[in-house]
Amino acid sequence: MSLSLPLPKSARLPALLLAILILAVLAGPLLFPHAYQLPGSDTYAPPSTSHLCGTDLNGRDLLLRILEGGRISLLVGICGAAISLLIGTTYGLIAGSSGSGVDNSMMRFVDILYSVPRLIFILIFINAFNERLQLAASNHGWDWLVSSSRLVILILSLGFIEWLTMARIVRGQTLTLRERSYVAAARVLGEGYWKILWRHLLPNMTGIILVYLTLAIPSVIIDEAFLSFLGLGVQAPQSSWGSLLAEGAASINPLKGAWWLILFPSLALLATLLAIYSLGDALRRSLSR
Amino acid sequence: MLRRLASLPVVLFCVVTITFFLIRLSPGGPFDSERKIPEAIEKQLLAKYKLDGPLMGQYTGYLRDLIHGDLRLSTKYRNRSVNEILAQTLPVTLTLGATAFLIAFVIGVWLGSFAAARPGTIAEGGALALTLLAISLPSFVLGPLLILIFSIKLAWLPVGGWGSPLQLILPAVTLAIPYAAVIARLLHDSLKETLAEDFVRTARAKGLSERAVVFRHALRVAILPVISYLGPLAANLLTGSIVVETIFHIPGAGGFFVNSILNRDGFLLGGVVIVYCVLLVVFNLMVDLSYRLLDRRIRES
């Protein structure tokens, strides 16, 4: 249970950076005057004191768009990773505790999924089922789902492909833990299979599971940005860092380089990924010590 | 090994089935457009592209065609078969992917062993920090940034396109960098573990130079986790090339893939997915085989 201890020293800086990023994304957009929300006449304006990161092709303030896009990116990252955590942990626990026959075939399945371009199937899946979900939602009168059906389906499907690493880690951990004497003792006492998993194995893995969450969240954020960059993920009026980057990339040309449209969304994504990865690195090192 | 070989057709069958039903069950047909086509013509079109009749019949018909190596016709690029389109675009994607693969492997192995051979130094810390930075730069971030720097500010390299070796540099580097970092980190960790083992101490005691110890003895064993990562790496590169081809305007299969989703061009979409999966499954089999050979040789010696 390493995480109930205070953070190791090397983890403080990334944790602080991450906290600032999350705070900026949540509270930042509230600080802007209402006029900044609307398209302005000042299109493709370079960074200045009134628009710190410049403006986009509709004259909207880029900093505000980055902060709002960050809400979507982080939301997808955290929710998607939570789903992958749930699936991966359950799968790994069952594989690791079920004896070699079941274990082998379950892990073989994971191997196969690793070597298949999963993101490509997700692309097809999202585009195949988005309209159906929208239709079903409007039939039931769930208005919130109609407007954000793409986001919901994105989160679910990314959660469904990013659980593989988690499953491997948990399975490996289960294999070592189940040989411990306290597990044998619990078995002798006649505790059931599920109770042993839940009461004895899982609590001893929370540290390592949380550390690997720092790998899952960036993976989901990157996947989402990948899909949105191709125009197949988050769509207007919503935007994420991926779709902002796509707009930036579309606007590069040698004559009028709107470099800020690429640089600032890149920095936002880079800072977030770097903060989470180095947090994970620091935690992993303190855990293996 | 034979069991793995036997699982190949099963995996491919699943891939084909999932792809087919995902595409056919999505709402909207390939011929839906703003203007309504007369019913008779639509019927004829559906018959030409074998999209008529019950779904199961269509599915078995598609399977039969696939077994004969026929990926059918594209519904968007009329009169061109999917085989034709792939024959033109796949070599482009594979050249890009293979170049990126080599770059990722060479840089990754070099940087990983560089860092692991200098434990506790600033060089090791710096190399590891560099890999962390590189992992946080996915291709859709790195690509536009590299274009901005090397093509527009410095004007050293072309912005995009395909054909000359110069045009290959930026996209291949963009695609390779994050995965080079992953390989470097994998190798660094496993090499450090290996360097602490007995046979390495023996090699050092024989008076071999540090270089020879790392490269001739330890690396052979430590490379194994990297080898088993090559399969997932190939899958990631193939997926990543979709984005890189879009950024650099490269006429590869990835661009056709994205368009085929937007155009509901089912057989083209299916063709790309199926060919990608065949390539990956075969590649994984080769990786598996070489892993076993390496592993056995190491255990015997």
Give the pLDDT means over successive 10-residue stretches in chain B (301 positions). Answer: 73 82 70 64 70 73 75 72 81 90 93 85 86 87 84 76 78 92 90 80 77 77 85 86 87 82 78 84 84 75 60
The better pLDDT of the pair A224, B57 is held by A224
In chain A, residues with a C-beta closer than 8 Å to the C-beta of B133 are: 270, 274
Helix, strand and coil in chain A, % to nearest 5: 75, 0, 25
Burial A45-62 (b: 16+ CB within 10 A, else e): bebeeebebbbbeeebbb
| pLDDT given for residue B23 in this prediction | 77
DSSP letter assigned to residue A55: B
Burial of A192 (C-beta count, 10 Å sphere; 0-12/13-18/19+):
exposed
Write out pLDDT tens, residues A262-273: 888 888 888 899
- B12 touching chain A per CB within 8 A: no
Q: Please say if the pLDDT value at position A2 is more than 50.
A: no
Close Cβ partners of A244 (under 8 Å, ≥ 6 residues apart) = A62, A65, A66, A69, A261, A265
Q: Which of residues 215-234 of B touch A (CB under 8 A)?
A: 231-232, 234
| pLDDT given for residue B36 in this prediction | 65
d(CA A232, CA B239): 14
Angle at A169 between CA A282 and CA B141, to 5 degrees: 60
Tokens of A233: 């993920």
Question: What's the gap in Å between the CA of A70 and the closest CA on chain B?
Answer: 15
Interchain contact, B148 vs A252, CB within 8 Å = yes
- A274 touching chain B per CB within 8 A: yes
Closest listed residue to residue B139, CA positions, set A239, A269, A197: A269
User: Average pLDDT for residues A123-150, to the nearest whole number?
Assistant: 75
Q: Which amino acid makes up residue B174?
A: T
Close Cβ partners of B170 (under 8 Å, ≥ 6 residues apart) = B143, B146, B147, B150, B151, B157, B158, B248
Q: Which amino acid makes up residue B189?
A: D
- A116 touching chain B per CB within 8 A: yes
The better pLDDT of the pair A167, A114 is held by A167
| pLDDT given for residue B181 in this prediction | 92
| pLDDT given for residue A255 in this prediction | 58
| pLDDT given for residue B80 in this prediction | 77
| pLDDT given for residue A49 in this prediction | 66
Tokens of B28: 């909207």
Question: What's the gap in Å between the CA of A19 and the closest CA on chain B?
Answer: 18
- B144 touching chain A per CB within 8 A: yes
| pLDDT given for residue B34 in this prediction | 54
- B257 touching chain A per CB within 8 A: yes
In chain A, residues with a C-beta closer than 8 Å to the C-beta of B22 are: 121, 124-125, 128
| pLDDT given for residue B99 in this prediction | 92
Ramachandran angles phi, psi of B133, nearest 5° = -65, -45
Chains A–B, number of C-beta pairs less than 8 Å apart:
123
- B246 touching chain A per CB within 8 A: yes
3-state secondary structure of B59: helix
The better pLDDT of the pair A284, A88 is held by A88
Q: Please say if the pLDDT value at position A43 is more than 90.
A: no
Confidence of residue A253 (pLDDT cuts 50, 70, 90): low
Interchain contact, A124 vs B269, CB within 8 Å = yes
Calculate Rg over the CA atoms of chain A: 22
Write out pLDDT tens, residues B191-244: 888 877 778 778 777 777 777 777 777 888 888 888 888 888 888 888 888 889
Closest listed residue to residue A155, CA positions, set A133, A136, A135, A181: A133
Ramachandran angles phi, psi of B73, nearest 5° = -100, 150
d(CA A253, CA A243): 18
Closest listed residue to residue B24, CA positions, set B75, B80, B84, B77: B75
Closest listed residue to residue A221, CA positions, set A169, A173, A265: A265
Scanning chain B, the segments in alpha helix (DSSP H) are 2-24, 39-48, 55-67, 82-116, 122-135, 139-146, 165-195, 198-205, 210-212, 219-222, 224-247, 253-262, 266-300
In chain A, residues with a C-beta closer than 8 Å to the C-beta of B25 are: 128
Interchain contact, B26 vs A127, CB within 8 Å = yes
Close Cβ partners of A168 (under 8 Å, ≥ 6 residues apart) = A92, A107, A110
- A57 touching chain B per CB within 8 A: no
Question: What's the gap in Å between the CA of A188 and the closest CA on chain B?
Answer: 37
Question: What's the gap in Å between the CA of A18 and the closest CA on chain B?
Answer: 14
Closest listed residue to residue A150, CA positions, set A215, A44, A66, A72: A72
Ramachandran angles phi, psi of B138, nearest 5° = -60, 165
Closest listed residue to residue A273, CA positions, set A230, A238, A221: A221
The better pLDDT of the pair B157, A221 is held by A221
d(CA B38, CA B233): 48
Q: Please say if the pLDDT value at position A1 is more than 60.
A: no
Close Cβ partners of B130 (under 8 Å, ≥ 6 residues apart) = B111, B181
Q: Is-contact B138 A225, C-beta < 8 A? A: yes
Nearest beta carbon to residue B239 from set A112, A120, A254: A120
Nearest beta carbon to residue A270 from set B15, B25, B137: B137
d(CA B288, CA B295): 10
Closest listed residue to residue A81, CA positions, set A173, A170, A208, A212: A212
Interchain contact, A124 vs B19, CB within 8 Å = yes
The better pLDDT of the pair B223, A50 is held by B223
In angstroms, the Cα distances linking A195 to A13, A89, A98, A186, A205 are 39, 15, 14, 9, 15
Question: What's the gap in Å between the CA of A220 and the closest CA on chain B?
Answer: 12
Confidence of residue A51 (pLDDT cuts 50, 70, 90): low
| pLDDT given for residue A257 in this prediction | 67
d(CA B141, CA B147): 10
